[in-house]
Amino acid sequence: MARLREVLPRPVLVLLALVVVVQAVLLAHLLAGRAEPRDVPLAVVAPPILAQELAARAADLEGRPFEPVPTDERAAAVAAVAEGRVDAAVLVDLTRDADTLVVRTTLDPELVAAVRARVASLGSSYDRGLRVREVAPPDNPDADRSALLLLPAGWVVLGLLVAAGIAHRRGSLARTGRLAALRVGATLVGALGLGAVLAALTTTAWSGAFVVTWLAGSAVLLASGWLVLALCALYGLPGIAVAVALFVLLATPALTMRDLALLPQPWPVVVPLTPYGAGAELLGEAVQTGTTSRAPWLVLGTWLAVPLLTVALVRRERPAAQRWSGTMSASGS
């Protein structure tokens, strides 16, 4: 009980309670508001002049729901949707009285409905109907959207729990530089091992995604775990609760399970800058396109570097006697 009070002193309990209230308010706001798409990449396929006109009209819609790209190459546009390079494509066939909206099977159904409504409003002025056609990622046609969102969340939670256990068992800060290096090395090896196991268990149905899932999962595990250790270095064991509060707030948009294009500002900007957002982006790219972009790796690299620098600065700036106050004395590492 005394140990629990070290982790959760009264000010930290107040902070956690406040975070829960704020998250509930944010979640209610996000779910209560009407989901309106914003800046959705949309290929507009039609004869060149008509494609340009329709793309211009789509770009001028209120609220900027689309980032339209005019083209006359139907096959390339459909492939771009399947591979995740655009979210949707509208195929205009002048020999028929209805157009086709092509969407990916891993796209948020709520986003599909919102995009369909806005595209249909464009076509209605020309007295044209609209049907929806789904296409699957070429390498992983059975990919499930829920798995692509929940797996990165699991990485974050697991990293937090492992680091919290280390800090609680071994102390908030290693006693010597050598033990600090051992702690970093052990968590690195452990994260790579856990990442490999989780990747092996979850990518059995995903072709060509093992390496990215392993590395991205390990990086997210380390990022969340090292952040816990950095906050413990700064605040002692209450740093565990501070880390939980931070991750709970950052997880609010993920709880809605909505696509980023449906979230209000600043969430579409904030989420990709979090370990969860970067991990989810990498996983989605690996499963859908077989390649990954540089930006999410840089985000994870930053989340890895900052905690290590924080711990190094704490060790340098604090007197040795101060470092160990409030930590376990005999078995600390």
Over 60: is that where the pLDDT of 332 sits? Answer: no
Question: Is the predicted pLDDT of residue 11 greater than 80, yes or no?
Answer: no
Q: Is the pLDDT of residue 5 over 60?
A: no
Mean pLDDT along residues 97-102? 93
How would you classify the pairing of strands 98-104 and 88-91? antiparallel
In tens, the pLDDT along 295-308 reads: 999 999 999 999 99
Q: How far is residue 14 from each of residues 19, 254, 305, measured CA to CA in Å?
A: 9, 24, 30
- Please write the tens of the pLDDT for every residue from 49-72: 999 999 999 999 988 999 999 999
Strands of 40-45's sheet in order across: 66-71, 40-45, 88-91, 98-104, 129-135
Dig out the tokens for 333 from the structure: 């590492």
Nearest residue to 168 (alpha-carbon basis) of 223, 224, 248, 239: 239
pLDDT digits (tens, 9 = 90+) for 189-219: 999 999 999 999 988 778 889 999 999 999 9
Lowest mean pLDDT among 3-12, 28-37, 159-168: 3-12
Q: What is the mean pLDDT of residues 21-26?
A: 70
- Residue type for position 289: T
Q: Please give the structure tokens belonging to residue 169.
A: 């068992």
pLDDT top residue among 323 and 132: 132
Beta-bridged to residue 44, according to DSSP, are 70, 90
| C-alpha span between 264 and 283 (Å, rounded) | 23
What DSSP designation does 325 have? Answer: T
250: enclosing H helix or E strand: helix 238-250
What pTM, to 2 d.p., does this model score? 0.85
* 102 against 164, higher pLDDT: 102
Structure tokens at 232: 């413990």
Query: How many of the other CB atoms lie within 10 Å of CB of 287?
Result: 25
**Cβ-contact 106, 143 below 8 angstroms:** yes
**Which of 2-6, 123-127, 214-218 is the most confident on average?**
214-218
Tell how many helices (H) and how many strands (E) occur in the chain.
14, 5
pLDDT of residue 324: 47
- Give the pair of three-digit tokens for residue 185: 């090395």
Count of Cβ atoms closer than 10 Å to residue 117 Cβ:
13
Higher pLDDT, 290 or 89: 89
- Contact between residue 303 and residue 160 where contact means Cβ atoms under 8 Å apart: no
